[in-house]
Copies of this chain bind each other. A is one copy, B any other.
């Protein structure tokens, strides 16, 4: 037996070593008696344990971390923990965030003997919860054999990265201390070469180039699955070299540099601009990057380009005018295109102009309104920020943001589970901080994470603010206090009491969740008028980069913008019948 074959390491240490190799810095989760033994390995491996307030929040945070870092991990206990987390895992599945869910399970002996232990239905059946996860993860495994353990861990990590979706790894509680082969650790966890090493077919490259050369009214549409293709640099280069009009979808917003002159924000923000809509609808070539065709992301299917003029790039496939070329790397295809492209042969496009932000200068004593609010706060953003808009009026309003370069932007486009964004803010902020530590750029200003969230959504997962406080993260939370679920009101039941929520005093949130009186009041701002909001935005305290800040803004319960306002008008019209 060779030296390499003899090397062993406890399974728990093996898993944590793999997580470190993935450059993960923070591990989310909640302790429970079946997972405590694996938790022992986290800190010794140089990982930070983020104990969340509950498992759903932990899964949401892991999703947020994965969207910034590329992969993340959440650890829960069997049954109660994993089922609390499952809606967060489902969201990561829907919007393609590779979260590794690690579940501590009863020991192999307890499972074999069908012992009637807690966190089960005392029927001797231990497989139910893994089977439930089949619907929300791309791969599932339970480690029960020491000889295959290391390979199983590697396999499940590969599946998460390959499919860009969550996976489910179950570890019986007698396994973390069991020695397993360490030989795999010599190479980093990788995805099998397969398609990523294959040169794209020259005919396909030529076919696309010819379409690009002959286009008279081309555009580029950047959608959210671009992130999952690992092709953001290639896309930025394509946008720069063509200088063609470029839009993003809500899911794609923030993935392409909005400081570039030809980048026009989302199609949704351009919705009312006639010239934009006309250009979009009559284009003769759309390069569609990372399509994600949910109703919300496509402006209720109206912003999907005509298939006959579209070349789309998705993970593992490219589609030219409806013809699918499978099993190729869109990233390699983009690289080949960029290498061969003769930009002098491309049409030069100057229009259509971006929408000009409204120049209403509201009176300082006027009440806040959604229409003006988002352009008004836009100047607060700076390069490097991560900006999140929770489902509801914030998601609709935030579409008009003009983002500085190097910002990231989160908005829900398919899963739309309200309550997601606050824990996702925690996850995103930790991913930003971990990456700053990893790249030793501590000399830079600390990264900032800015969340816009309605009161109803905030109540769902509010306690996770305490973890943001504990981790001293540089987060600004703008709570839109508009007396309930405005997004539901505009859909149905405008004045129905079921769309009301409990009345909270949000100014006391920081106090309950861990800060003392002085810190709590120093970090809280509120605004009912533009003058008050400007004072908050200008205040030195807000710009100190020394941890969490909360700005509570008050708006009318039926105030909204864009599509939400259209829905409200329809409801009001129905009421008059």
Chain A residues engaging chain B, CB cutoff 8 angstroms: 31-33, 36-37, 39-40, 42-43, 49, 51, 53-54, 56, 79-80, 83-84, 86-87, 90-91, 93-94, 115-122, 128-129, 131-132, 135-136, 292-296, 301, 413-419, 459-463, 466-467, 469-470, 485, 487-488, 491-493, 496-506, 508-509, 511-514, 516
Chain B residues positioned under 8 Å from A121 (CB to CB): 90, 93-94, 414
Chain B residues positioned under 8 Å from A459 (CB to CB): 53-54, 463, 466
B505:A511 contact, CB within 8 angstroms: yes
Chain B residues positioned under 8 Å from A115 (CB to CB): 295
Q: Apart from A79-B417, A502-B514, what 6 extra A-B contacts exist at CB < 8 Å?
A: A36-B496, A80-B418, A86-B86, A116-B301, A120-B294, A131-B135
B508:A460 contact, CB within 8 angstroms: no
- Shortest Cβ distance from A83 into B: residue: B87
B414:A120 contact, CB within 8 angstroms: yes
A497:B414 contact, CB within 8 angstroms: no
Sample (10) of A-B pairs whose CB atoms are under 8 Å apart: A31-B493, A51-B498, A80-B91, A83-B86, A83-B87, A84-B417, A84-B419, A132-B135, A467-B502, A505-B512
A416:B87 contact, CB within 8 angstroms: no
B498:A504 contact, CB within 8 angstroms: no
Say how far A102's CB is from chain B's closest CB, in angstroms.
13
B39:A466 contact, CB within 8 angstroms: no
- Shortest Cβ distance from A48 into B: residue: B497
Within 8 Å by CB of A463, from B94, B118, B136, B463, lies B463
Centre residue among A90, A93, A492 by max chain B CB count within 10 A: A90
CA distance A501 to B54 in the complex (A): 11
Chain B residues positioned under 8 Å from A132 (CB to CB): 86, 132, 135-136
B294:A118 contact, CB within 8 angstroms: yes
Say how far A8's CB is from chain B's closest CB, in angstroms.
23
A294:B117 contact, CB within 8 angstroms: yes
Indicate whether A54 sits within 8 Å of B460 (C-beta atoms), given known contacts A33-B488, A514-B502. yes
CA distance A467 to B414 in the complex (A): 29
CA distance A117 to B301 in the complex (A): 10
CA distance A492 to B431 in the complex (A): 29
Count the copies. 2
Say how far A244's CB is from chain B's closest CB, in angstroms.
27
CA distance A461 to B470 in the complex (A): 18
Say how far A341's CB is from chain B's closest CB, in angstroms.
32
A120:B135 contact, CB within 8 angstroms: no
A42:B415 contact, CB within 8 angstroms: no
For the complex of A and B, the 3 pairs showing the least CB-CB separation, nearest first, are A83-B87, A80-B417, A466-B502
Say how far A486's CB is from chain B's closest CB, in angstroms.
12
CA distance A491 to B120 in the complex (A): 19
A504:B36 contact, CB within 8 angstroms: no
Say how far A59's CB is from chain B's closest CB, in angstroms.
11
Chain B residues positioned under 8 Å from A500 (CB to CB): 51
CA distance A40 to B487 in the complex (A): 16
A492:B37 contact, CB within 8 angstroms: yes
Say how far A74's CB is from chain B's closest CB, in angstroms.
14
Chain B residues positioned under 8 Å from A87 (CB to CB): 80, 83-84, 86
Say how far A396's CB is from chain B's closest CB, in angstroms.
13
Within 8 Å by CB of A415, from B33, B40, B80, B293, lies B80
Centre residue among A419, A460, A467 by max chain B CB count within 10 A: A460
Within 8 Å by CB of A470, from B502, B509, B512, lies B502
Within 8 Å by CB of A80, from B301, B416, B466, B467, lies B416
B135:A128 contact, CB within 8 angstroms: yes
B293:A122 contact, CB within 8 angstroms: yes
CA distance A485 to B414 in the complex (A): 36
A485:B31 contact, CB within 8 angstroms: yes
